[in-house]
């Protein structure tokens, strides 16, 4: 089964990078499309990244404190 990537979006025109904040869900948790997965912190705000699909969070690829850029894959979801 193909996994779905959770990708860091570009939040605002000036966002070049962000730091991974707290993961709201853990590997193995069931999520619905739109459920908040993780907080990312930019120099201006803290934003929640929603799940792109319903399924199970299979893998976290960027732990809390990691610096990421728009387009980075930070987690994977196995679709329901």
DSSP-derived secondary structure for 23-53: ESS-TT-EE-TT-EEEEEE-SS-EEEEEPSS
Average pLDDT by consecutive 10-residue portion of the chain (80 residues)? Answer: 93 89 98 98 93 98 97 96
Report the number of distinct structural domains present in the chain: 1
Instruction: Determine the pLDDT at residue 14.
Output: 82
Instruction: Report pLDDT for 43.
Output: 87
Give the pLDDT score at 8. Answer: 97
Q: What is the pLDDT of residue 13?
A: 83
pLDDT of residue 70: 96
**Residues 8 and 18: beta-carbon distance below 8 Å:** yes
Domain with 27, as residue range(s), is 4-79
**CATH number of the domain encompassing residue 19:** 2.40.50.100
> Among 67, 48, 80, 65, which Cα is nearest to 57's?
80
């Amino acid at each position: 089964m193909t996994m779905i990537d959770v990708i860091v979006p570009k939040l605002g025109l000036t966002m070049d990078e962000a730091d991974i904040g707290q993961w709201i869900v853990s590997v193995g948790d069931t999520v619905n499309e739109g459920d908040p997965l993780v907080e990312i912190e930019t120099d201006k705000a803290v934003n929640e990244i929603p799940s792109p699909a319903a399924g199970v969070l299979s893998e976290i690829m960027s732990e809390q404190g990691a610096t990421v850029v728009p387009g980075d894959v930070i987690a994977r979801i196995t679709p329901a």
